[in-house]
Structure 1
Amino acid sequence: MSVIPGAQLHGIAGVHLYGAPAGRLVDITVDGTTVAGVLPHDPARVPAATSDENWLDLHGYTVFPAAADPHAHLDKALSHDLVNPPAGDLDGAIASWVKAADGFTEEDILDRARRAAWLMLAQGTTAVRTHVDVYPSDDSSLSSAAFRGIRALTRLQEELAGLMTLQIVALVPAHTPDDQVTALTGGALDAGADLVGGAPHLAGDPLAQTDALLDVAEARGVGCDLHTDEFLAGSSGDRALTVHRYAGRVIGWPADRIRGAGHCCRLSQMDASELADTASSLKDAGIHVIALPATNLYLQGGDGTQGLHERGIAPLTALRDHGVAVAAGGDNIRDPFNPTGRGDPLETASLLVTAAHQTPEQAIDLVTVDARTALGLPPAGPVPGQTADLLCIRAPDTPGHPTAATFLAAAPADRTVISGGRLAAQTTLTTHLPDLRPVG
């Protein structure tokens, strides 16, 4: 009997746990939204799994903690072909988006965001923090067009309840006049945003805008997730770093209040001494640094003006070694800031291996357990007592026991996603090849 997507599960049978020794199969029982038990596989459970609509037989699959994405832009997703932006340039991407955004209605935004969210869910992501543009306006009423993106995403948040945790960050564009930043950010929170966001490093006065955004967060008692110093050493001009001001302002916040710093590209250009000082500030302030390899490889370091092609990825290994909490996200899905993003956590993890020099195991952690921690969510995974958010991936056809690297290399399409104990998505790929006979 097949399980209907959305159904509450009692368990899954015959799976391999990621990181466990080869050949050790288990059955995972689920009680509501929680993993109840992880038991040695009992073949007697397989008939139940094939006849009980609340059990899944997933022989051949490996179970991972479900992925989370701590930095997305669902309001911009799938807009690349509508905007037709210039290639590989942050300022150009921003300008093209600002020009096109006036033509997008609340329904347009909701439709694209919904399709992107389903894409992410089908590939194993059960929790997303999305930044959502707030459009400059003199009207800060809740019905204002300024908040149409926020309204669209709060509607999606309600639609996805129980299948995907969606956090909404109010992103007031950096070019917003200073006298509107506070009113629009507060209005966005009233309209349904969960967190304060922004990109103050792009503002005319980066430190003043950092302070203005944090003033709102503190006054409202909410967390903050800022685009932080998304530029490289040669492109900064006299632009002030915001990371130290950010850290200094939030060091006294309650421990459970979210504070995230996305991008942090400039940190990759610091010498060892400067980076050590910066990392110390970040650690003491409890800020999670969120690396975004796909977008920052696309947007940073490609102009070659200094004869160099630099990578714009936050220095994860050094930050981790200094005790800073780190995570990674996919950022953009086929929009002006990345034409090729596809919402797959395994793609992000693969880039972390090849471009950020993370081990495959570290890369998987960065998009699963570390990302979930950055979201301030309780642990999830195939562990008794944890939230039953699981990503089950069919093991690749490979000699020997598949490793973390093998899963990243193959990125198998066959995935079963469980969210809060419910079957959220199931994808099966069938390939037909000719019947070839061995030669010789």
Structure 2
Amino acid sequence: MRRVHPQDLRPGQAIATLRGVTLPDGSSSTLSIADGRIIAPPDAPLAPAVAAIAEREVEATGWLLLPPAADLHAHIDKAYTWSAAGEPEGSLEDAVACWRAFGSAVTEERIARNARRQLDAALRAGVTAVRTHVNYHEGVDPLRGIRAVLEAREDYRGLVDVQVVAMHDQFRDTGMIREAIALGIDLIGAAPHLSTDPHGEIDRAVTLAEEMGIGVDLHTDETLDPESLDLLHLARRTADWPEEITRSAGHCVSLAVQPPDRLAAVLDAAAEARVSIITNPLTNLYLQGWEHPVATPRALPPLAAILDAGVVLAAGGDNVQDPFNPLGNGDMVHVAAALVLAGHLAPRRAWDVVARGRELLGLGAAAGTVGDDADMILVRAASVAEALAERAPDRIVVRRGRVVATRLTASDAVPVSTRKEVAL
């Protein structure tokens, strides 16, 4: 069996054994892979003859295994439109107005092209699961974006698991929402806090979901207004749902400005109702707080309090270079770093949040333990903190034991002794 180093791996190659790889807890381990799963290492009594079932033994000393990232809140139908939309800047309300004015000109072909571009970038970054919200687009044929994204979902099957949320507003009639459901979307979405009747919009989405047997993922309380607590209504409305039906609340920014007693009560209700919260630090740090030029609030929900309350917390990259965030890139390493810097989570806890989304999409465990899916990101780092600090420039993305993408710096091509000379 051929022994190689991670930087020698190429897409399509299978891995039999990882020797000396560092796990997130800092320990070093040797892992073997068969049939897409982690099995007992080769020196264990129950290990099969792995040389016969895979191609390469990888000498992974100096490389860290991270559970693969899950982007639980994306907008791949809007991706890469910031320049075309006039390079706008401003608050959430400004971005919404810009998109409504610009969105009617976006064709299905452009949506499909940009959606695939974002999924390509996500895969190279180690994001192997994406839940994307898709608008009913302005102008003729409001379902064109949903169709384009559903096609991309099929194209990336086996590489990136894509879950599609059709996101209506108060102006979309229920008949059109039913049409979207019939196309094959996974979840119903909405942004109740932008409606004139937030609770009515929550009730409409939940009622439709109940009728159609699917779940909801709602943009919730994306505001620094402490009076906005739609999360509490969503929790009460879905408290009797079966455990396996999705009910997620994205953003939940207003939790950041609640007094402790009210915060505790809302989080208790969310935990009891099994409502998951999806935090989106990069976009919310950009969109919220424009009205506070000094002492600007961080516009992130209290992450540690959410976790301590027993609420399932995941994270999203949200907007990628569109009117809602000119600098988004869908790289969950950057999102995890923001959870540390702005959200005050420890690095390992931040990556746990980024990886937790796999569970919400119904995917198997991928923590590098025996029996787990052999899905992982190999990064050249000694610890999770180092990986986040340096933004993990070297990455090998693995699905079911097979390399599906690589992203390497030029350091492998330039010997250390000549780097200074090359730079000069």
TM-score normalised by L of structure 2: 0.89
Aligned to 1:399: none
Aligned to 1:388: 374
Aligned to 1:357: 344
Aligned to 2:399: 419
Distance 1:4 1:358, change over 3 A: closer
Are the equivalent residues in 2 in contact too, given 1:302–1:310 (CA < 8 A)?
Answer: no
Does structure 1 residue 153 correspond to structure 2 residue 149? yes
Does structure 1 residue 184 correspond to structure 2 residue 176? yes
Matched AA of 1:145: D
Superposed counterparts of 1:366-405, under 5 Å: 366-368=353-355, 370-395=356-381, 402-405=382-385
Cα drift, residue 267 of structure 1: 0.8
Mapped partners of 1:136, 1:215: distance in 2? 25
Mapped partners of 1:101, 1:277: distance in 2? 39
Aligned to 2:291: 303
1:378-423 per-position Cα deviation (integer Å, ceiling 9, x unaligned):
212311111121010012xxxxxx3322111111211100123321
Q: Which runs of 5+ in 2 are unaligned?
A: 3-7, 45-50
1:154-192 per-position Cα deviation (integer Å, ceiling 9, x unaligned):
1111111111110000111x3x42xx3422222111112
Are the equivalent residues in 1 in contact too, given 2:267–2:309 (CA < 8 A)?
Answer: yes
Aligned to 1:255: 243
Distance 1:155 1:365, change over 3 A: same
Does structure 1 residue 275 correspond to structure 2 residue 263? yes
Are the equivalent residues in 1 in contact too, given 2:14–2:55 (CA < 8 A)?
Answer: no
Aligned to 1:170: 166
Cα drift, residue 249 of structure 1: 1.2
- Which of 89-98 and 263-272 deviates more? 89-98
- Which of 146-155 and 278-287 deviates more? 146-155
Are the equivalent residues in 2 in contact too, given 1:196–1:213 (CA < 8 A)?
Answer: yes
Does structure 1 residue 122 correspond to structure 2 residue 134? no
Distance 1:181 1:381, change over 3 A: farther
- Which of 72-81 and 82-91 deviates more? 82-91
Identify which of 12, 24, 27 aligns with 1:18: 24
Aligned to 2:212: 220
SS of the aligned residue for 1:391 comes to strand
Mapped partners of 2:314, 2:104: distance in 1? 33
Mapped partners of 2:177, 2:35: distance in 1? 37
Mapped partners of 2:86, 2:43: distance in 1? 54
1:75-120 per-position Cα deviation (integer Å, ceiling 9, x unaligned):
1111111112431311111111121111111111111111111111
Cα drift, residue 123 of structure 1: 1.0
Superposed counterparts of 1:328-343, under 5 Å: 328-343=315-330
Aligned length: 406
Mapped partners of 2:134, 2:43: distance in 1? 45
Does structure 1 residue 293 correspond to structure 2 residue 281? yes
Matched AA of 2:26: A
Mapped partners of 2:225, 2:120: distance in 1? 37
Mapped partners of 2:164, 2:299: distance in 1? 25
Identify which of 36, 40, 43 aligns with 2:39: 36
Mapped partners of 1:39, 1:226: distance in 2? 46
Mapped partners of 2:262, 2:335: distance in 1? 28
Aligned to 1:428: 408
Q: How big is the alpha-carbon RMSD for the aligned residues of Structure 1 and Structure 2?
A: 2.5
Cα drift, residue 38 of structure 1: 4.2
Mapped partners of 2:92, 2:282: distance in 1? 13
Mapped partners of 1:427, 1:241: distance in 2? 42
Mapped partners of 1:11, 1:162: distance in 2? 22
Mapped partners of 1:391, 1:416: distance in 2? 6
Aligned to 1:197: 189
Matched AA of 1:35: I
Are the equivalent residues in 1 in contact too, given 2:10–2:406 (CA < 8 A)?
Answer: no
Mapped partners of 2:209, 2:129: distance in 1? 22
Cα drift, residue 308 of structure 1: 3.5
Are the equivalent residues in 2 in contact too, given 1:163–1:422 (CA < 8 A)?
Answer: no
Are the equivalent residues in 2 in contact too, given 1:85–1:93 (CA < 8 A)?
Answer: no
Does structure 1 residue 68 correspond to structure 2 residue 48? no
Aligned to 1:44: none
Q: Which runs of 5+ in 1 are unaligned?
A: 42-47, 138-143, 396-401
Cα drift, residue 200 of structure 1: 1.0
SS of the aligned residue for 2:410 comes to coil
Aligned to 1:140: none
TM-score normalised by L of structure 1: 0.86
Matched AA of 1:318: A
Mapped partners of 1:155, 1:54: distance in 2? 34
Aligned to 2:88: 86
1:127-171 per-position Cα deviation (integer Å, ceiling 9, x unaligned):
11000111368xxxxxx8221111111111111111111000011
Mapped partners of 2:401, 2:157: distance in 1? 13
Are the equivalent residues in 2 in contact too, given 1:77–1:332 (CA < 8 A)?
Answer: yes
Mapped partners of 1:126, 1:40: distance in 2? 30
Matched AA of 1:200: P
Aligned to 1:113: 115
Cα drift, residue 39 of structure 1: 5.3
